[in-house]
Amino acid sequence: GESVGLHLPTLSVQEGDNSIINCAYSNSASDYFIWYKQESGKGPQFIIDIRSNMDKRQGQRVTVLLNKTVKHLSLQIAATQPGDSAVYFCAERTSGTYKYIFGTGTRLKVLA
Amino acid sequence: NAGVTQTPKFQVLKTGQSMTLQCAQDMNHEYMSWYRQDPGMGLRLIHYSVGAGITDQGEVPNGYNVSRSTTEDFPLRLLSAAPSQTSVYFCASSYRRTSGGSDEQFFGPGTRLTVL
């Protein structure tokens, strides 16, 4: 079936540097994409979302880029902080449904 | 607002036992869903509901039942627990928008279930 996957299972970055977490999706019918952050022992927390009619969306210190041509999604975190250490998931939703498919996650480690 | 609450936080069952995981939200969200998360994996959708009286299957529905009699509550029932159902279970809720806006899902803290 259709799935969402991630290229890197673990990403280590120096505090203050920018982080880029990537995600590939395979369902061309997906029209809504979300990034979540999950800290140890907690439920996922919404970071930012983007619809398929956009290619970029910015939030506070975060930017999501969507490339529909190659079915690629990325999350950029500016000036990465120790509190950003967590597992990050991308998720997609097929147009016309409420079924979300999550990727397997990337662990972000921020080095002091 | 309490947000999304789940009970219990931890549960140990024996194979063949049944139980209900509780989920409640106080944000008047139409959409509610149940996921399971296995070690080192992402979340997989079990069942979801777009409103009271309406439920549908997700990616991994076998062995689970749901009902949605009120907007606030969305319990998940394990009919006959199996070791393969050992997992962390998350409930989530959101508004149901047809276009525009954010469909941000709010997640509960999770229930850690072990089936022996």
The 10s digit of each residue's pLDDT in B60-84 is: 999 999 999 999 999 999 999 999 9
DSSP lists the bridge partners of residue A100 as A93
B83 φ/ψ angles, rounded to the nearest 5 degrees: -55, -30
- Which of B31, B43, B102 is facing A98, going by the closest CB pair? B31
E-strand ranges in chain A read 4-5, 10-14, 19-25, 30-38, 45-51, 56-58, 62-67, 72-77, 86-94, 100-102, 106-111
Best of B105, B111, B112 to substitute, by most chain A Cβ atoms within 10 angstroms, is B105
Amino acid at A88: Y
Determine how many CB atoms are found less than 10 A away from the CB of residue A22: 17
Best of A31, A42, A98 to substitute, by most chain B Cβ atoms within 10 angstroms, is A98
Asked if residues A9 and A108 have their Cβ atoms less than 8 Å apart, the reply is no
Residue that has been written with the tokens 């140990």 in this structure: B12
Q: Which residue, B99, B12, B44, B13, is CA-closest to A53? A: B99
pLDDT (tens, 9 = 90+) of chain A, 112 residues, equals 334 444 448 999 999 999 999 999 888 889 999 999 999 889 999 999 999 999 999 999 999 999 999 999 999 999 999 999 999 999 999 888 888 999 889 999 999 8
Amino acid at A89: F
Q: What is the pLDDT of residues A2-15, one digit of tens each?
A: 344 444 489 999 99
Residue that has been written with the tokens 């982080």 in this structure: A19
N-terminal to C-terminal alpha carbon distance within chain B: 36
